[in-house]
């Protein structure tokens, strides 16, 4: 479904992402892990089109989308969440989802797309809010929500765009054990509905439990790839996280 070919991004002299090849298959959950600064978030940003590539290609469903602007990539079905919560605080919970909902299929005429808001659309939003346990907050301003609710709303907003590929950037950051269990359940539910997911996460248990495959990054390069079990025993991964073993 998604293929990154020699993906490269330099910020000045910093090689944030350095020739990464990565394939995500339809319907799978891929974990993307690595120490801080290893290029995980940059890869997500590049897939969304937030800044231009230095080199390489992003191929989505067989077409090269490397030069498409972000809103056109969303229209193709790529949505994301942010590591540090980003919401429209001055809009209500409901409004936060309203525009995202039409991110795909704006094509039926300008006016209908912008002024519309059919009964069907409204029901779909209410359903999404219920799924993320936000139904009772629908008319609150997003900025007034508690932290955990904002995290859920961010997830809900990305989901409202009806993505076929969902990029989750540390969705469990700051969550307690119970919230992480709920997150785990939601990710599995989305997969059952056919959404492909790329998950960046530091929470080891969550990554090991929910992903099909894991890719490990270090210094902008992919150092390992495999099933969670394989990754857990990989010596290179240990080295990246814990440092080289020196003879005592």
Partner 1 sequence: MDDYLVGVLSNIGVVSFVALSAYLLLLTGAISFGQQAFFAIGAYAAGVATALWGWPLAAALALGAAVSAAAAAAVGLPTLRLHGLYFAVATLAFAEMVRLLFELARYQVEIDGELVGPNGADGFRGIRYIFEHDLGPLQFLALIYGLLAAVLIGFMLMERSRLGVALRMVGEDEVLASLNGIAVARLKILAAGLAGALAGLGGGLYAHLTTYVEPRMFDVMLGVHSLAYGLIGGLGTAFGPLVGVLIDIGLLESIRPLAGYRMIVFGGLVALLLIARPRGLLDEAAVHWLQRAWRPRRRP
Give the residue with the Cβ less far from partner 1, 22 or 87. Answer: 87
Number of residues this chain uses to bind partner 1 (CB under 8 A): 36
Q: Rule CB under 8 A: say whether 135 interacts with partner 1.
A: no
To partner 1, the closest distance from the beta carbon of 45 in angstroms equals: 10
Bridge-based pairing of strands 29-33 and 196-200 is parallel
Stretch that binds partner 1, among 18-26, 91-99, 189-197, 230-238 (CB under 8 A): 91-99
Please state, in angstroms and rounded to a whole number, the distance separating the CA atoms of residues 97 and 93.
Answer: 7
Q: Is 91 in the site for partner 1 (CB under 8 A)?
A: yes
Q: Could you say which of 61, 64, 116, 230 contacts partner 1 (CB under 8 A)?
A: 116
Query: Based on CB atoms, which residue is closest to partner 1, 74 or 216?
Result: 74
- Examine residue 44 and tell whether it contacts partner 1 (CB under 8 A): no
Give CA torsion, residues 204, 208, 213, 218, to 10 deg: 20
Q: Report the alpha-carbon distance of residue 202 to residue 199 in Å, rounded.
A: 10
Give Cβ neighbours of residue 132 (< 8 Å, ≥ 6 apart): 152, 153, 155, 156, 159, 186
Q: Is residue 94 within the footprint of partner 1 (CB under 8 A)?
A: yes
75 binds partner 1 (CB under 8 A): yes
**Residue that has been written with the tokens 């495999």 in this structure:** 226
Q: Is 124 in the site for partner 1 (CB under 8 A)?
A: no
Q: Work out how close the CB of 79 gets to partner 1 at its nearest, in angstroms, rounded to a whole number.
A: 7
* 174/180 Cα distance (integer angstroms): 9
Q: How far is the C-alpha of 137 from the C-alpha of 129, rounded, in Å? A: 9
Find the Cα–Cα–Cα–Cα dihedral 58, 61, 64, 67, rounded to 10°: -70
- CB-based contacts of 25, cutoff 8 Å, min separation 6: 1, 196
Q: How far is Cα 32 from Cα 204, in angstroms, rounded to an integer? A: 11
Q: Does position 157 bind partner 1 by CB under 8 A?
A: yes
96-115 residues near partner 1, rule: CB under 8 A: 98-100, 102-104, 106, 113-115
Least separation in angstroms between residue 138's CB and partner 1 is 9
Q: Tell me: does residue 89 bind partner 1 (CB under 8 A).
A: yes
Nearest residue (CB) to partner 1, 115 versus 242: 115
Binding site for partner 1 (CB under 8 A): 48, 50, 69-71, 74-75, 79-80, 82, 86-92, 94-95, 98-100, 102-104, 106, 113-117, 122, 139, 141, 157, 161
């Amino acid at each position: 479904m998604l293929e990154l070919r020699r993906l490269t991004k330099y910020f000045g002299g910093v090689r944030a992402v350095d020739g990464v090849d990565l394939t995500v298959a339809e319907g799978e959950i891929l974990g993307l892990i690595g120490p801080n600064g290893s290029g995980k978030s940059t890869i997500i940003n590049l897939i969304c089109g937030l800044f231009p590539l230095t080199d390489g290609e992003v191929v989505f469903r067989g077409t090269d989308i490397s030069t498409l602007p972000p809103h056109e990539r969303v229209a193709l079905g790529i949505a994301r969440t942010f590591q540090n919560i980003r919401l429209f605080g001055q809009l209500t919970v409901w409004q936060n989802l309203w525009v995202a909902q039409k991110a795909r299929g704006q094509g039926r005429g300008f006016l209908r797309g912008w002024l519309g808001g059919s009964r069907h659309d409204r029901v779909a939003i209410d359903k999404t809010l219920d799924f993320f346990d936000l139904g009772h907050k629908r008319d609150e301003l997003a900025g007034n929500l508690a932290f955990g609710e904002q995290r859920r709303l961010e997830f809900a907003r990305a989901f409202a765009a009806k993505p076929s590929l969902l990029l989750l950037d540390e969705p469990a950051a700051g969550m307690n054990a119970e919230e992480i269990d709920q997150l785990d359940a939601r990710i599995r539910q989305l997969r059952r509905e056919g959404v492909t997911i790329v998950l960046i996460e530091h929470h080891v248990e969550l990554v090991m439990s929910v992903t099909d495959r894991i890719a490990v990054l270090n210094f902008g390069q992919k150092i390992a790839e495999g099933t969670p079990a394989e990754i857990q025993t990989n010596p290179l991964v240990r080295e990246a996280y814990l440092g080289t073993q020196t003879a005592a």
